[in-house]
């Protein structure tokens, strides 16, 4: 899995966890749905660039529906955080089958857009593909924007404040319910966006969400849950170690990242950039 | 007991209802094995309130251990099964040690990620495990002499052997849940902070629950290998953890029967629905969402609640008598040290803020000391430092001359310091009696997983005594959260006293009480001071001036003044800062 894409997906997971205290098991599903929304758009209009827009929008909307229709019923109940994990897990089982019903079991081919095919230049022995550079570029644009959103806007302030003390934010008279909906939708849209840009690299399939979800877990554990920098660093670390071990000795790739996680857990349980006390509860 | 006999009868006669059809018996056996797995899972979820998504590792390691042993060394069947269960136990201990540094959903995520390590090991170690093809070609299975039974291919034989093992396992689990350890687990689930303040090492208790859960999950995994004569790699994939979670919640957590019903429903869905519907997971996932949202007690839990008659509301205790401390404390516990408790230069900073800033504090045995100060003066932080809830940033704490700086809460409790909290902190979901009993039990045993907790005579006597003297005997069977506010405050003091403390810290014992209750409580605390040493944080000045031997005034984390009530009343600094006149 590409480090950039891992960062984008894991950030959505981390933001939702930080604010709402739930592990969003449906996150991988949103990623998969993004790829499918992209496929539909390309299928209908032939435009990859349009898909970059429609996929996050469509899946963001689904995120709103899920949050309003399902998750909101769990708030304020006993063990609300558990319940949030459980219902999203239920959705993660349901939705891939719904996708199979609609699009069939086999995956859908998804071509690299014409403008980005081929290699851009050669770096020594290695071909540098235009599409990979594109992913890097897109990530380089999105990350600062997201950082600005979280650190320089009112919404970001509320999200960060809510992450550290939800009740207090509520007492200040801020509409927390709406912030939660927006945050959840934002997470879904981020996952969907990552899904579309991954689509040309892998086959679009109903199962694609499962694997990325676990990798995101590892990224957030290594980097530190709920921290922007941690997720970026964790994503790069995990993404690159996957890529490098993948090149050297394929079989070991998955094991290496799990070992990295176990090591971090042993030495620094809160993650590389995690703050003390965060996400302990 | 009746339930168990009934269960035994049902198990014994179940094959009759289907005319011994092999398909039906195979299904039944599978339901039983997964039921055991779900029950083992619930030891953790329903037992200590830990959500695990790593149980695939326990089941899987055991299934492969049994499978590999059988395939390579052909040991006796019971040896292979036991080895599998031990494999599950060891895996759970390893995982437990790693993940119990965290809590809640974060812990759940860690269990999932770590359990996948085992999946990848199996995946890569193809020569031994068979990789994605699974592990097959297991030889004919037989028990060792003198039984020497060959576990024949006949499904009926196999059913009865498996059913017997599972019935015994359920008995064992039931026994453990009623043991002192089982009760401690329930206390940890009900209120972890309170359990720690009673002297329970909550992390270890949870680790013990992991071990029990891992052992029986392992047993289920080993039996699954025997039933299937095959180990599919799905057994160790994380989705197996999701499956067992779904089964447990379908049936209902916190019951013995629930997991078996849940396993039955799930396997029925899988076999029946998938025969008729290609996309059966939509229904499993959907049903799961609906159960979580609308039937959080599961099928069995909800039925039980529906059938159970509502208990009549407990009779209110007469509120006019002051509890007699002699019965509560036994002999006076006043050690001969010059200072029972002492803090030297105690500091606690949060970021840039010093909540407690260089406090030198001494309490003599038998003293009743009040700590007062405006809001934010650091009183509660000071208490949290003394009781090991927070580690100090600097300074030392001595108790009976022993340095207790930085010791965790449960160790501090065992040394003889008990406390009540500003916001009532009791085991709300446990009965009034159990609240006090579990606190008394902490002085006797924590981890004993055999014997009935209710058979600890000395502990029972102590709990009875305390309830009697607090006037709560009539409500002993009520849940603690059903008590009135005043009664809950008393119960909390009862919990604290049940741990036989030498030193008692009370954080605003009269908060939220009526004037009448306040008067009664003040008199009670005063009387109690003849038996144990007490430090009390209190806002009610009348109470403070009335009962204290000495008063310490905190302001901005520092001691502003200390002295008798008369001295404090006359102190100009105190009047200026605290009484604001």
Q: Shortest Cα distance from B55 to chain A (angstroms)?
A: 16
Q: Which residues of chain B does A82 touch, with a Cβ-Cβ cutoff of 8 Å?
A: 51, 104-105
Backbone angles phi, psi at B142, to 5 degrees: -145, 150
What confidence score (pLDDT) does residue A275 get? 67
Name the residue with higher pLDDT: A119 or B28.
B28
In a domain, B280, yes or no: no
Tell me the two tokens of residue B285: 């996932």
Provide, rounded to the nearest whole percent, the portion of chain B with pLDDT above 90: 47
Asked whether the predicted pLDDT for residue B1 surpasses 80, the reply is: no
Alpha-carbon radius of gyration of chain A? 19
d(CA A279, CA A224): 9
Residue B59 lies in a domain: yes
pLDDT of residue B540: 85
pLDDT for position A280: 42
pLDDT at residue B20 greater than cutoff 70: no
Reported confidence tier of residue B257, pLDDT bands at 50, 70, 90: very high
In a domain, A190, yes or no: yes
User: Within a domain: residue B107?
Assistant: yes
- In order of A62, A110, B188, B437, the CA distances from B184 in angstroms are 44, 56, 6, 10
The confidence score (pLDDT) of residue A44 equals 93
> CA-based angle B242:B247:B251, to the nearest 5?
145
CA distances from A12 to A187, A205, B143 (A): 4, 21, 54
Closest CA to A279 of A29, A15, A69, A57: A15
User: How many structural domains comprise chain A?
Assistant: 1
Give, for B359, the enclosing helix (H) or strand (E). strand B353-363
**A96 → chain B, closest CA residue:** B282
> What are the structure tokens assigned to B194, written together?
């309170």
Separation of alpha carbons B491 and B473, rounded Å:
11
- DSSP type of residue B319: -
B98 touches chain A (CB under 8 A): yes
| Interchain contact, A266 vs B288, CB within 8 Å | no
Q: Do B293 and A262 touch (CB under 8 A)?
A: no
Kindly give, in sequence order, each residue whose CB lies less than 8 Å from that of residue A258, ignoring residues fewer than 6 positions away: A218, B113, B114, B116, B117, B120
- Three-state SS for B423? coil
If pLDDT is split at 50, 70 and 90, which confidence band does B98 have?
confident
> Are residue B489 and residue B506 in the same domain, yes or no?
no
**E strand or H helix at B535, and its extent?**
strand B533-537
Note every long-range contact of A75-84, with CB atoms under 8 Å and residues 24 or more positions apart, other chains counting.
A77/B296, A78/B296, A80/A21, A81/A21, A81/A22, A81/B104, A81/B105, A82/B51, A82/B104, A82/B105, A83/B292, A83/B293, A83/B296, A84/A20, A84/A21, A84/A22, A84/A24, A84/B105
pLDDT at A281 over 50: no
Indicate whether B232 pLDDT > 90. Answer: yes
Per-residue pLDDT, averaged over A45-58, amounts to 93
Phi, psi of B373 (to 5 degrees): 155, 155
Same domain, B545 and B396: yes
Which of B238, B268, B291 terminates a domain? The answer is B238
> Quick check: B269 and B280 in contact, CB under 8 A?
yes
Domain boundary among B213, B238, B263: B238
Instruction: Please state the rounded mean pLDDT for residues B123-152.
Output: 74
**Average pLDDT value over all residues in chain B:** 87
Dist. CA B125–CA A87, nearest whole Å: 35
Asked if residue A250 is part of any domain, the answer here is no
Cα atoms found within 13 Å of the Cα of residue B330, Cβ hemisphere only: 12
Do A93 and B288 make contact, defined as CB atoms within 8 angstroms?
yes
> Between B150 and A196, where is the model more confident?
A196
| B321 vs B469: CA distance, rounded Å | 10
State whether B357 and B483 are in the same domain.
Answer: no
- A74 with B292: Cβ contact below 8 A: yes
* pLDDT exceeds 60 at position B291: yes
Question: Are B344 and B369 members of one domain?
Answer: yes
For B64-160, strand residue ranges (E) read none
Tell which residue, B534, B436, B544, B530, has the closest CA to residue B490: B436
- Across the range A49-57, mean pLDDT stands at 94
Chain A environment of B108 (Cβ under 8 Å): 23, 85
Asked if the structure places residue B375 within a domain, the reply is yes
CB–CB of A258 and B113 under 8 A? yes
The answer to which of B33-47, B172-186, B278-292 has the lowest mean pLDDT is B278-292
**pLDDT given for residue A279 in this prediction:** 42
Whether residue A226 has pLDDT greater than 80? no
**Tell me: the pLDDT tens digits for B559-571?**
988 999 989 888 8
**What pLDDT does B398 receive?**
92
- Residues in chain A closer than 8 A to B51 (CB atoms): 82, 85
For residue B350, the surrounding DSSP H or E stretch is strand B341-350
* Tens of pLDDT, residues B389-428: 999 999 999 998 889 998 999 999 999 999 999 889 999 9
Q: How far apart are CA B343 and CA B321, in angstroms?
A: 36
Question: Which comes out higher in pLDDT, residue B504 or A128?
Answer: B504
How far, in Å, CA of B408 to CA of B412, rounded? 6
Answer yes or no: do B441 and B488 share one domain: yes
Kindly tell me if the per-residue pLDDT of B515 is higher than 70: yes
pLDDT at B167: 95
Judgement on whether residues B99 and B181 belong to the same structural domain of the protein: yes
Whether residue B276 is predicted with pLDDT greater than 50 in this model: the reply is yes
What is the biggest distance separating any 2 CA atoms in chain B, rounded to whole angstroms? 92
Q: Is the pLDDT of residue A195 over 60?
A: yes
Confidence of residue A278 (pLDDT cuts 50, 70, 90): very low
Which of B110, B242, B278 is opposite residue A265, by nearest beta carbon? B110
Measured between CB atoms, which of B105, B245, B278 is closest to A22?
A: B105
Q: State residue B197's pLDDT score.
A: 93
B104 lies in the same domain as B132: yes
**CATH number of the structural domain spanning residue B400:** 3.40.50.300
The CA-based angle A91-B250-A75, given to 5 degrees, is: 55
CA B260 – CA B178 distance, rounded (Å): 20
From CA A205, how far away is CA A223, in angstroms rounded? 28
For residue range B365-394, list pLDDT tens digits in order.
889 999 998 888 888 899 999 999 999 999
Residue B108 to residue A23, Cβ atoms within 8 A: yes
Per-residue pLDDT, B337: 67
Around Cβ B134, how many Cβ atoms within 10 Å? 18
Which chain B residues are Cβ-neighbours of A280 within 8 angstroms?
102-104, 106
pLDDT averaged over chain A?
85
Residue whose C-alpha is closest to residue A39's, from A107, A94, A97, A105: A107
Q: Is pLDDT of A77 > 80? A: no
- Count of domains in chain B? 3
* Cα-Cα end-to-end distance for chain A: 30
Q: By C-alpha distance, which of B517, B462, B516, B528 is closest to B489?
A: B517
Q: Between vectors from CA B5 to CA B4 and to CA B8, what angle results, nearest 5°? A: 85
User: Which is higher by pLDDT, B313 or A174?
Assistant: A174
Q: Is pLDDT above 80 for A160?
A: no
Cβ of residue B286 closer than 8 Å to a chain A Cβ = yes
Q: Which residues contact A133 (CB under 8 A, 6 or more apart)?
A: A120
Question: Is B113's CB within 8 Å of A218's CB?
Answer: yes
Give exposure, A73-111, as e/b (b: 16+ Cβ within 10 Å). Answer: bbeeeeebbbbbbbbbbbbbbbbbbbbbeebeeebbebe
Give how far B105 is from chain A: nearest CA, Å.
Answer: 7
Under 8 Å between Cβ of B127 and B71: no
Q: Which of A27-31, A172-176, B466-470 has the lowest mean pLDDT?
A: A172-176
Contact in structure between A42 and A204 (CB atoms under 8 Å): no
Please report whether residue A46 resides in a domain. Answer: yes
> Do both B481 and B372 map to the same domain?
no
Q: Is the pLDDT of residue B137 over 80?
A: no
* Nearest one of B162, B172, B138 to B27, comparing CA atoms: B162
DSSP one-letter code for B396: E
Q: What is the pLDDT of residue B395?
A: 92
Distance CA B480, CA B439 (A): 14
pLDDT band per the 50, 70, 90 thresholds, residue B62? very high
Q: Are residues B489 and B376 in the same domain?
A: no
Cα separation of A216 and A28, whole Å? 9
Domain match, B17 and B155 both: yes
| pLDDT confidence bin for B331, thresholds 50/70/90 | low
Q: Which domain holds residue A139?
A: 3-206
Q: 3-state secondary structure string, chain A?
A: CCHHHHHHHHHHHHHHHHHHCCCCCCHHHHHHHHHHHHHHHHHHHCCHHHHHHHHHHHHHHHHHHHHHHCHHHCCCCCCHHHHHHHHHHHHHHHHHHHHHHHHCCCCECCCCCHHHCCEEEEECCEEEEHHHHHHHHHHHHHHHHHHHHHHHCHHHHHHHHHHHCHHHHHHCCCCHHHHHHHHHHHHHHHHHHHHHHHCCCCCECCCHHHHHHHHHHHHHHHHCCCCHHHHHHHHHHHHHHHHHHHHHCHHHHHHHHHHHHHHHHHHCCCCCCCCCCCCCC
Which of A214-228, B138-152, B479-493 has maximum average pLDDT?
A: B479-493
Q: Does B238 touch chain A (CB under 8 A)?
A: yes
Average pLDDT rounded to a whole number, residues A118-127: 72
Bond before B146 cis per omega within 30 degrees: yes
Q: Is the pLDDT of residue B518 over 60?
A: yes
Nearest-angstrom CA–CA distance, A72 and B175: 39
> Angle at Cα B358 formed by Cα B357 and Cα B362, nearest 5°?
125
Q: Which residue of B has its CA nearest to A91?
A: B285
- Window from A73-87, B67-81, B326-340, B455-469 with minimum mean pLDDT: B326-340
Residues B480 and B400 in one domain: no
Residue A280 inside a domain? The answer is no
Q: Does position B31 have pLDDT exceeding 80, yes or no?
A: yes
Asked whether residue B102 is assigned to any structural domain, the reply reads yes
Calculate the alpha carbon distances from A114 to A49, B504, B527, B559 in Å: 11, 76, 87, 75
Predicted confidence (pLDDT) at residue B309 exceeds the cutoff of 70: no
Domain assignment of residue B49, yes or no: yes
For residue B97, the enclosing domain spans 2-238
Angle between helices A3-20 and A130-152 (to 10 degrees): 20
Answer yes or no: is pLDDT of B150 > 70. Answer: no
Indicate if the pLDDT at residue A153 is higher than 80. Answer: yes
Q: pLDDT tens, B341-372?
A: 999 999 999 888 888 998 999 999 889 999 99
Whole-number pLDDT of residue A87: 92
Give dist(CA B125, CA B148) in Å, integer: 33
Smallest CA-to-CA distance from B206 within B89, B50, B36, B91 is with B50
Identify whether the C-beta of residue A240 lies closer than 8 Å to the C-beta of residue A33. Answer: no
B110, B168: one domain? yes
Chain A residues closer than 8 Å to B293 by CB: 70, 73-74, 83, 87
- Is the pLDDT score of B505 beyond 90? yes
Per-residue pLDDT tens over the stretch A197-219: 999 888 899 989 888 888 888 89
Residue B315 pLDDT > 70:
no
- Cβ of A262 within 8 Å of Cβ of B117? The answer is yes
**What is the percent of chain B where pLDDT is above 70?**
92
Would you say residue B247 lies in a domain?
Answer: no
pLDDT (tens digit, 9 = 90+) per residue, A91-101? 999 999 999 98
Say if residue B510's pLDDT is above 80.
yes
Nearest Cα residue to A27 out of A253, A185, A222, A219: A185
In angstroms, the separation between the Cα of residue B575 and the nearest Cα of chain A is 33
Structural domain includes residue B556: yes
Angstrom distances, CA of residue B119 to CA of A23, A208, B228, B237: 21, 18, 19, 6
The CA distances from residue B444 to A251, B299, B414, B448, B501, in Å, are 52, 37, 11, 10, 14
Are A105 and A97 within 8 A, CB to CB? Answer: no
Which residue, of B173, B203, B238, is where some domain finishes? B238
């Amino acid at each position: 899995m590409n480090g950039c894409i891992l960062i984008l997906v894991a950030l959505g997971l981390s933001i939702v966890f930080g604010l709402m205290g739930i592990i969003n098991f449906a996150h991988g599903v949103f990623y998969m749905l993004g790829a499918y929304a992209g496929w539909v758009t390309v299928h209908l209009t032939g435009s990859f660039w349009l898909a970059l827009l429609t996929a996050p929008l469509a899946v963001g909307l689904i995120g709103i529906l899920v949050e309003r229709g399902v998750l909101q019923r769990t708030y304020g109940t006993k063990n609300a955080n558990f319940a949030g994990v459980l219902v999203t897990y239920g959705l993660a089982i349901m939705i891939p089958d719904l996708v199979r019903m609609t699009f069939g079991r086999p995956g859908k081919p998804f071509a690299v857009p014409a403008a980005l095919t081929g290699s851009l230049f050669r770096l020594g022995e290695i071909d540098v593909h235009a599409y990979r550079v594109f992913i890097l570029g897109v990530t380089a644009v999105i990350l600062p924007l997201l950082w600005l959103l979280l650190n320089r806007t009112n919404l970001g302030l509320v999200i960060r404040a809510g992450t550290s003390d939800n009740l207090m934010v509520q007492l200040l008279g801020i509409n927390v319910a709406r912030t939660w909906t927006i945050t959840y939708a934002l997470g879904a849209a981020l996952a969907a966006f990552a899904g579309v840009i991954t689509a040309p690299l892998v086959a679009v399939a109903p199962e694609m969400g499962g694997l990325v979800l676990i990798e995101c877990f590892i990224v957030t554990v290594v980097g530190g849950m709920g921290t922007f920098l941690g997720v970026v660093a964790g994503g790069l670390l995990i993404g690159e170690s996957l890529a490098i071990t993948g090149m050297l000795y394929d079989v070991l790739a998955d094991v290496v990242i799990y070992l990295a996680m176990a090591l971090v857990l042993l030495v620094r349980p809160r993650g590389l950039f995690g703050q003390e006390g965060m996400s302990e509860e | 007991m009746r339930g168990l006999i009934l269960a035994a009868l049902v198990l014994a006669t179940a094959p009759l209802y289907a005319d011994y059809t092999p398909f039906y018996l195979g299904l039944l056996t599978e339901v039983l094995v997964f039921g055991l797995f779900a029950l083992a899972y619930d030891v953790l979820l329903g037992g200590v309130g830990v959500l695990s998504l790593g149980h695939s590792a326990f089941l899987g390691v055991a299934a492969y251990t049994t499978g590999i042993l059988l395939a390579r060394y052909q040991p006796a069947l019971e040896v292979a099964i036991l080895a599998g269960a031990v494999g599950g136990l060891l895996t759970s201990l390893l995982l437990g040690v790693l993940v119990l540094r965290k809590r809640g959903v974060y812990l759940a995520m860690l269990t999932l990620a770590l359990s996948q390590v085992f999946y990848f090991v199996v995946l890569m170690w193809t020569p031994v495990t068979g990789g994605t093809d699974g592990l097959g070609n297991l030889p004919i299975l037989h028990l060792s002499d003198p039984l020497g039974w060959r576990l024949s291919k006949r499904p009926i034989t196999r059913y009865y052997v498996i059913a017997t093992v599972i019935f015994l396992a359920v008995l064992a689990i039931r026994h453990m849940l009623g043991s002192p350890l089982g009760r401690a687990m329930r206390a940890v689930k009900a209120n972890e902070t309170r359990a720690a303040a009673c002297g329970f090492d909550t992390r270890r208790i949870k680790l013990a629950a992991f071990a029990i859960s891992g052992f029986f999950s392992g047993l289920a995994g080993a039996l699954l290998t025997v039933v299937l004569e095959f180990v599919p790699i799905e057994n160790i994939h994380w989705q197996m953890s999701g499956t067992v979670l779904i089964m447990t919640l379908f049936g209902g957590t916190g019951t013995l029967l629930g997991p078996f019903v849940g396993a039955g429903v799930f396997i029925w869905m899988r076999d029946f629905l998938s025969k008729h519907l290609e996309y059966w997971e939509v229904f499993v996932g959907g049903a799961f969402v609906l159960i979580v949202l609308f039937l959080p007690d599961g099928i069995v839990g909800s039925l039980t609640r529906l059938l159970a008659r509502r208990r009549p509301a407990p009779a209110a205790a007469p509120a006019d008598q002051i509890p007699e401390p002699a019965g509560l404390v036994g002999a006076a516990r006043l050690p001969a040290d010059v200072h029972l408790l002492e803090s030297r230069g105690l500091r606690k900073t949060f970021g840039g803020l010093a909540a407690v800033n260089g406090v030198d504090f001494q309490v003599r045995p038998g003293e009743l000391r009040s700590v007062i100060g405006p809001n934010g003066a650091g009183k509660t932080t000071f208490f949290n430092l003394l009781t090991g809830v927070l580690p100090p940033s600097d300074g030392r704490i001595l108790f009976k001359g022993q340095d207790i700086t930085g010791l965790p809460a449960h160790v501090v409790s065992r040394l003889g310091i008990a406390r009540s909290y500003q916001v009532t902190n009791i085991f709300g979901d446990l009965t009034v009696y159990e609240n006090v009993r579990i606190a008394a039990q902490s002085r006797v045993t924590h981890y004993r997983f055999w014997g009935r907790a209710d058979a600890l005579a000395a502990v029972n006597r102590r709990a009875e005594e305390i309830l009697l003297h607090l006037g709560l005997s009539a409500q002993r069977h009520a849940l603690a959260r059903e008590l009135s506010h005043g009664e809950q405050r008393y119960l909390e003091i009862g919990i604290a006293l049940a741990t036989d403390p030498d030193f008692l810290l009370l954080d605003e014992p009269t908060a939220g009480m009526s004037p009448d209750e306040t008067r009664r409580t003040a008199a009670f605390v005063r009387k109690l001071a003849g038996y144990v040493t007490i430090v009390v944080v209190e806002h009610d000045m009348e109470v403070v001036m009335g009962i204290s031997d000495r008063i310490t005034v905190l302001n901005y984390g520092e001691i502003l003044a200390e002295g008798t009530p008369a001295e404090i009343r006359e102190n100009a600094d105190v009047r200026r800062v605290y009484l604001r006149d």
